[in-house]
Structure 1
């Protein structure tokens, strides 16, 4: 099967090293292990790898780039409209727990217990918006609507997220406030359409 980050191989904002890191159970990207509460089901793991690849590699996230105020990242994505299918496909069978940082990995404190995501994030809106601190915004828009970002698409049919970024860059509706300079981060092909 196609590695998740390969969708952006012709026009990516990440390196091959980042792509490799996104696919590892113990990744240096966020000092996080997917299997912190037992082995993560493959469907769940695929969802989170696609999420990481989109966040790290997609050149179409310019309208939602916001300044970050932390020591490990200068910019972040804020309120990016995620397609309903990507929000609802997510991992309700996945176990999670309260995590404490540890050098090079995550771990569960002895006082915590693993719980199903459906108890921690009972609605698709909760999971989509809260798990990554409002990076994503739940929408009722569907794949192909040209109004929401897709985590996964068939590269043979082109990148549908280009049209979505163009729409939000032009209209600025429902996009989080971002400096006009963000347009410089959009791919040249997209800017030619503006």
Structure 2
């Protein structure tokens, strides 16, 4: 890399870091935290309705989404979204793939990660979320679905060889079942995406990767509570999330996602025939 190009790259990265931090420092109210999207390549600047998501696995976010319907379609149809190959060792099992699709929808579309955003300047984004409290039940279901699938790295956020433009296993690594790479479900969920998630035992103060939007968004109340704690202000419960207090809105992802995906792929096949 030439000296000029190196200086230019450093200058651009430095400017992006400053802008990212300034953006996060500007969050002064709970509503500020609730009306911001991750600053990434495919996310919108502020969340809003995306009715085109209704027929997608990203459907929980249709009423208020940080991704567009076009992005949701890309997540579903592109097996190497963001040039990332889940099948870097072996083809993922269908159930495991469902959970990675849910994770992608969450990453691209969730409007509730504001309180957990930190600067992370890369080619595809200027921010990431860190330590989002994922519900233990969701984590265990994800772990169960992928338990016997294969990977060569424990932390997918770092370590892959990107020289070909697509992630490949680094030289010297070996493909092993997930249950040999991670010690348990918590290790899996907290390590896999480089600390994006932390497992939370309390089912009332945690995020669901997927939920039934009929009952509203259970993650919103959790985000509002966290924003209130950051700002040291009194937490005000959001009434339309109260249906989730009894667990009615949390999806049983072991069965529900299968039905949603089946309906989705039937829809796609119908369009293609």
Asked if these proteins are the same fold (TM beyond 0.5), I'd say yes
SS in 1 for 2:214: helix
Residues 1:154 and 2:212 are matched in the alignment: yes
SS in 1 for 2:187: helix
Aligned to 1:28: 81
Q: Greater RCO between the two (CA within 8 Å, min separation 6)? A: 1
Q: Where is the helix percentage greater, Structure 1 or Structure 2?
A: 2
Alignment check: 8 A CA contact 1:26 1:105 kept: no
How far does residue 149 in structure 1 lie from its aligned partner after superposition? 0.7
How far does residue 138 in structure 1 lie from its aligned partner after superposition? 1.1
SS in 1 for 2:65: coil
Residues 1:95 and 2:147 are matched in the alignment: no
Alignment check: 8 A CA contact 1:25 1:33 kept: no
Distance 1:111 1:119, change over 3 A: same
SS in 2 for 1:13: strand
Separation (CA, whole Å) in 1 of partners of 2:202 and 2:98 = 22
Query: Greater CA deviation, 38-47 or 8-17?
Result: 8-17
Aligned to 2:179: 118
How far does residue 45 in structure 1 lie from its aligned partner after superposition? 0.5
SS in 2 for 1:100: coil
What TM-score comes out, normalization by structure 2 length?
A: 0.57
Residues 1:133 and 2:194 are matched in the alignment: yes
Alignment check: 8 A CA contact 2:117 2:127 kept: yes
**Which of these two proteins has the greater Rg computed from alpha carbons?**
2
Q: 1:78 aligns with which of 110, 123, 130?
A: 130
How many residue pairs are counted as aligned between the two chains? 171
SS in 2 for 1:82: strand
Aligned to 1:59: 111
Distance 1:122 1:100, change over 3 A: same
Distance 1:93 1:60, change over 3 A: same
Task: Flag structure 1 segments of 5+ consecutive residues without an equivalent.
Answer: 173-179, 181-189
Aligned to 2:271: none
Distance 1:109 1:134, change over 3 A: closer
Alignment check: 8 A CA contact 1:65 1:75 kept: yes
SS in 2 for 1:23: helix
Query: Greater CA deviation, 111-120 or 82-91?
Result: 111-120
What TM-score comes out, normalization by structure 1 length?
A: 0.79
Separation (CA, whole Å) in 2 of partners of 1:115 and 1:81 = 27
Separation (CA, whole Å) in 1 of partners of 2:84 and 2:128 = 18
How far does residue 4 in structure 1 lie from its aligned partner after superposition? 2.0
